[in-house]
Amino acid sequence: MTSDELPALAAALRSALPDGVVLTDESSVGPYAHDDAEWAEYAAPAAVVLATSIDDVVTAVRIAGAHGAPVVPRGAGTGLSGGANAMPGAVVLSLERMTRILEVDVPERFAVAEAGVLNDDLRRRVAADGLWYPPDPASQAISTIGGNVATNAGGLCCVKYGVTRDYVLGMTVVLADGTVARLGRTTAKGVTGYDLTGLLVGSEGTLGIIVDVTLKLRPLAGREDRAVVGWFSSLADAGEAVAAVSRAGIVPAALELIDSTCLRAVADWQGWTLPDGAAALLLAKVDEPGSTGEALAHQVEGLFADAGGTHVERAFAPDEVDRLFLARRLAYPALERLGPVLTEDVCVPRSAVPTMLARIEAIASRHEVVIANIAHAGDGNLHPLIIAPEGDDEAKARAKAAFDRIVDECRALGGTVTGEHGVGLLKLPGAAEELSPVTLALHRAVKDALDPRGLLNPGKAFPAVPAPSEG
């Protein structure tokens, strides 16, 4: 877009959309220029549209298309990979005001929620009818359903109950030309046509703009949470405990790792006291009822102790279980208090967790950076958090080098460069190494079919396909 076209775009949006929906002044659009991955590049958008209905989304997409403007969909802006970062001349299309839960069908166990509904709000609403929506990212109190679907978010309990993709039955999507597609089904089974719903899950806004989602629910009853807590004097021992649980064939409802850097940050913030010499904390949860759950908790307790765990204990009261897992959910905001955080999101085979943790420690030492570790350890999804002091450009450069090295080591162990945060902008180099030229060409073919002008969140989710060599 040329500079002359920008005022025309803003004027067209303001003319066609209700008052208060379009933002164009610098102070208003600034907060919408990027998500929580401020390390990724971004620019101020030409306009922000705070959509309140599907009609607003359709209108904004059509006007942006008429002016050749990129469209960047956005939920709550809690992403950690730059997937919602704007570029010059873009229209940021925010779904945060679309917060209606349109339907809860108790007998058929599904709900229909607009894209801006917060994960926690949906969980509370369906719990009132005795139902449960399992995907529970650590950001569940502030992240939206639309953003969860766009990145195929995971969570603490995904080791047993699956990620967002496993609960998406259908959706309503506004396509690049402004047409509306209603995808999927509400039945328990259905294989008519291609799985276009599955294609859109995890597509990071590059194929269509998700405006509402039909989600599968589970019964809330029949679960009895039991937590097992193990403190470890080294990350290696904690990693071995994770591998031991996997070898034993146990599928816990959650298995989370928090290292000492995270623990100290949370403890200092919340006024908690930690055991002496604690290098890592493992939090396991089993939720089978009755004697089965009791036996599994006892077995996990033994595996933790055999791997070198100290102060291994069990918690039964729901408030105590919630308090223990709160430490995991508070880890990221606690670390943000220490300085800018570059968040990794790699996933390795469960058996490789001890090795990967050791390599992360070595990378931290080699690059002279502080790396804290939290992890959905039960499925091998690790989140090394690299901290660099504000304004220290040399430290920031070392942090970025460590970030890239962690990706390399993950791939060397048979892992993937992103488990749940998405590729966005930060993971494009790693994705280029992970995806073969044939696979990249398939991505481009799908993108070209659904978004031939390349206006939907361009440059995100997958790297550019290399030009064919001549001769």
> What pLDDT tens digit does each residue of the chain (471 aa) get?
555 566 899 999 999 999 999 999 999 999 999 999 868 999 999 999 999 999 999 999 999 999 999 999 999 999 999 999 999 999 999 999 999 999 999 999 999 999 999 999 999 999 999 999 999 998 999 999 999 999 999 989 999 999 999 999 999 999 999 999 999 999 999 999 999 999 999 999 999 999 999 999 999 999 998 999 999 999 989 999 999 999 999 999 999 999 999 988 988 998 887 777 789 999 999 999 999 999 999 999 999 999 999 889 887 777 777 777 888 888 888 988 888 889 999 999 988 999 999 999 999 999 999 999 999 999 999 999 999 888 889 999 999 999 999 999 999 999 999 999 999 999 999 999 999 999 999 999 999 999 999 999 999 999 987 655 554
For tokens 């901290």, the residue is: 387
CATH assignment of the domain containing 250: 3.30.70.2190
Query: Beta strands 47-50 and 91-94: pairing type?
Result: parallel
Q: Provide the Cα torsion 442, 45, 430, 438; round to 10°.
A: 10
Domain boundary among 34, 63, 94: 94
- Is the domain of 262 the same as that of 275? yes
Two structure tokens written together for 288: 């089978």
pLDDT for res 471: 45
Answer yes or no: do 184 and 226 share one domain: no
Question: How many structural domains compose the chain?
Answer: 4
Rounded to 5 degrees, what angle do the CA atoms 106, 111, 112 make?
A: 145
Token pair belonging to 64: 């942006």
Residues 260, 182 share a domain: no
Range of the domain at 53: 5-94
Find out whether 177 and 189 touch, Cβ atoms under 8 Å: no
105 shares its domain with 88: no
Looking at 285, 314, 335, the residue that finishes a domain is: 335
Output helix, strand, coil percentages for the chain, rounded to the nearest 5.
40, 20, 40
44: tokens are 């101020």
C-alpha pair distances (Å), 307 with each of 189, 230, 303:
43, 10, 6
Selection from 386, 395, 393, 398 nearest residue 338 by Cα: 386
CB 214 within 8 A of CB 186: yes
In this structure, the answer to whether residues 306 and 266 fall within a common structural domain is yes
Residue that terminates a domain, selected from 94, 110, 143: 94
Cβ count near 389 (within 10 Å): 13
Overall pTM > 0.75: yes
Whether 203 and 105 map to the same domain: the answer is yes
